[in-house]
Chains A and B, each alone.
Chain A
């Protein structure tokens, strides 16, 4: 038990890194995904299809492979080595952030696109016939419906992102998993450090779920309240 406590002490020093990876890539991923979903919805044809295919490809490739390409592959490119990009890709932390954001973008943009097309057409037409312009229609008729339809899937995706941060240890980032793995290879004790790390990740996931449920109950107002507020 004492050993476990000393492990917990050491492993928890990686907690800031894990939470940093998680939150930074969550924000980046969300904005990138919004941009990609916007491009796919409002520019039909080649642009939309091209972006969709790119997102499909990113979703089909294991994150570990993308991480390896960014960390071991990109430094070989002169463009990366000689410009400001080197500051980003020389650090394993920022490499992981870029990788996580890109993967998050691919999954979240599909959730956004899906929930946009789930909105009934009549709802749009009704808003238009009330004399609302494009942006107002989006704000009143589409966005609330999108949040209602897509939030559960997005919560699952956020939990997935939280879990994916653990892969960072494969490129030498010292996060929770990194410290657990370091103890594991130093002491040859497989179970205890991993169990301690596991408890930390379960707590993180519970906290994330609670936070997401709180956010959902705050922002998912019914469609009628939105019209009243306008």
Chain B
């Protein structure tokens, strides 16, 4: 029964939907980590009020329901992109895929989590490490990239693993906005064929297989980073 549906066109739909979900997850995961790095560096910098602003951002964004934030951000960013396109090219005819504002919205939501994680990871690195690197003649950037970041990375891998799984789950919310990811394709299939268990079953299977695979990858990364810990 499942194979029958998969071969009759739904298989292709699911493959396309999975590609959409993965794209959204990969981009929002990477962007959210960039946001996290930038904001935790900024919070620790000399700017007065920076740390308060970052704290407010993470506090509010971690208190609000993700779906509410996504809808709010999606429509703001979508409107912004459309007026930017109109301004840049002079015509409103150029269509930007709704995936772009969707990805930006999920990145901003996930950015709050990764900022919080990275700030905690950063706090664990003793200040003496940076000072020692500077006294050896490394520049600020070199010290950041060669001394601090590898240690933060090693501490953060398990947390990044869970953030990655959260990113993948977060993309499911994009289906509410109307982006055809795995969940939306499954609901459409369930509704139009009247076989909810087959279609939701396929979607659940995709997510579980994905979670198992990624937890294996992250465990391997963790072991590998422990092995190289003494070598640096």
A interface list, Cβ under 8 A from B: 56-57, 59-65, 68-69, 72-73, 76, 159, 163-167, 170, 177, 180, 184, 190-191, 194-195, 197-198, 201-202, 205-206
Known A-B contacts A73-B197, A73-B200, A190-B71; A64 and B176 likewise in contact (beta carbons under 8 Å)? yes
- Give the CA-CA distance A68 to B183 in the complex, in Å: 9
- Which residue from chain B places its CB closest to the CB of A56 in the assembled complex? B211
- Name the contact of B176 in the complex, choosing from A59, A170, A191 (C-beta under 8 A): A170
A56 to chain B, nearest CB (A): 7
Once bound together, how far apart are the Cα atoms of A56 and B211, in whole Å?
Answer: 9
B68 proximity list for chain A (CB < 8 A): 166, 177, 180, 194, 197-198, 201
Question: Would A164 and B65 count as touching, CB distance under 8 A?
Answer: yes
B232 at interface, CB cutoff 8 A: no
Tell whether, in the assembled complex, residue A201 and residue B64 are in contact, meaning their CB atoms are under 8 Å apart. Answer: yes
Roughly how many angstroms separate A64 CA and B106 CA in the complex, as a whole number? 16
Pairwise interchain contact A163-B65, C-beta atoms closer than 8 A: yes
* Interface: B63 (CB within 8 A): yes
Residue B85 lies at the interface, judged by CB distance under 8 Å to chain A: no
B:161-204 near A, CB below 8 Å: 165, 169-170, 172-173, 175-176, 183, 186-187, 190-191, 196-197, 200, 203-204
CA distance A123 to B229 in the complex (A): 31
Query: Smallest CB–CB gap between B22 and chain A, Å?
Result: 14
Q: Does B66 contact A (CB under 8 A)?
A: yes
Interface size on B, residues (CB 8 A): 36
User: Which of the residues A72, A163, A180, A195 comes within 8 Å of B66, measured between beta carbons?
Assistant: A163
B75 near A: Cβ within 8 Å? Answer: yes
Complex interface: chain A residues within 8 A of B76 (CB): 191
B63 engages A177 (CB within 8 Å): no
A100 to chain B, nearest CB (A): 13
Contact B65 A201 (CB under 8 A): yes
A177 touches B65 (CB 8 A): yes
Q: How far is the CB of B218 from chain A (nearest CB, A)?
A: 13
Q: How far is the CA of A202 from the CA of B62 in the complex (A)?
A: 9
Once the chains are docked, how many angstroms separate the CA of A166 from the CA of B66? 8
| Alpha-carbon distance between A177 and B72 when the two chains are bound, in angstroms | 12
Residue B217, interface by CB 8 Å: no
The answer for the CA separation of A66 and B65 in the assembled complex, in Å, is 17
B152 at the interface (CB under 8 A from A): no
Q: Does the CB pair A62–B196 fall under 8 Å? A: no
Nearest-neighbor residue (CB-CB) of A165 within chain B? B65
In the complex with contacts A65-B186, A72-B190, A60-B67 CB distance below 8 A: no
B120 to A: closest C-beta gap in Å = 11
B110 to chain A, nearest CB (A): 14
CB <8 Å contact, A60 and B211: yes
Question: In the complex the two chains form, is A202's CB within 8 Å of B63's CB?
Answer: yes
Residues of B near A195 (CB, < 8 A) are 72
B65 and chain A: residue at smallest CB distance: A166
Least Cβ distance of A15 to chain B in Å?
14
B173 to chain A, nearest CB (A): 6
Q: Which of A56, A65, A205 contacts B204 (CB 8 A)?
A: A65
**How many angstroms from the CA of A184 to the CA of B204 in the assembled complex?**
31
A-B contact list, 14 entries, CB within 8 Å: A57-B211, A61-B211, A65-B183, A65-B203, A65-B204, A65-B207, A159-B63, A163-B65, A177-B65, A177-B67, A177-B68, A180-B68, A201-B63, A205-B63
